[in-house]
Structures are given as structure tokens and as C-alpha cells.
Amino acid sequence: MLHNTIDLTLTDFLPPPCESVRTNDDSALFGLRVKLHGLNGRKDLNGQIARCDFRKEEKCRYQVFLPPYESGEPVFSSVKLSYLLVAKPLDCRDGKYIKNLIFK
């Protein structure tokens, strides 16, 4: 599995390398934190933050990973580019992520 329980890195707390999601910009999108929006089939995922993975060229979609601290359990989904926004950087003062990362 590419991702496990914790997938946060230093770059998640820094300004993203790009301001918008652009077609055929795989190098900027790979590993980028994105916000899902406008999904119809999985409306429960709208507003969730995911990590962008590789592009499925035959379907013109990107594989995204939602870690368990976002969705309750790890979720892999295939999403059209138009449903992805660049996510804002994490704020280390926001205890939401730290609290959810504590192992029990």
C-alpha cells in the first residue's frame, strides 16, 4: 500500500507548489494535497482533503487517497481533474489532525 495511517509531511504545512490544478501537470499534482468538490457519486467525500496520486490516462482521472484521519478509513478513489482543488496548507495550531493521529 502506497500510503498508511500517517501521510503528513513538512510540505503539507507549507504553501502548495501551485495555486490551481492544471491539465497535464502531473509533476505538480503528484503527492499534492487536494480538496474534493462537486462529486455527485460520492457526495460524502466533497470537502475532504486527499492526496493526489497518479493519472489514469485511459480514463482521464486521477487516483486520490483519503487518509483515515480525513474519512474515518483509508479511501482510494478515481476522480476527474475538474473535481480537484489545491488544498490550503495545514495549520499546526489546528489540533484536529494531531488529535486524530494519536495511537490508541
Domain assignments of the chain as residue spans, ordered by start: 10-101
Q: CATH number for the 10-101 domain, one of 2.102.10.10, 2.60.120.10, 2.30.30.30, 3.30.1330.60?
A: 2.30.30.30
Asked if the model's pLDDT at residue 38 lies above 90, the reply is yes
| 32-37 average pLDDT score | 92
pLDDT-derived band at 27 (thresholds 50, 70, 90) equals: confident
Asked if the model's pLDDT at residue 66 lies above 60, the reply is yes
Dihedrals phi, psi of 75, to nearest 5 degrees? -130, 130
Q: Extract the C-alpha cell encoding 62.
A: 486521477
For 19-33, give the secondary structure using H, E and C. CCCCCCCHHHHCCCE
Would you state the pLDDT for residue 98? 53
| 29-58 average pLDDT score | 87
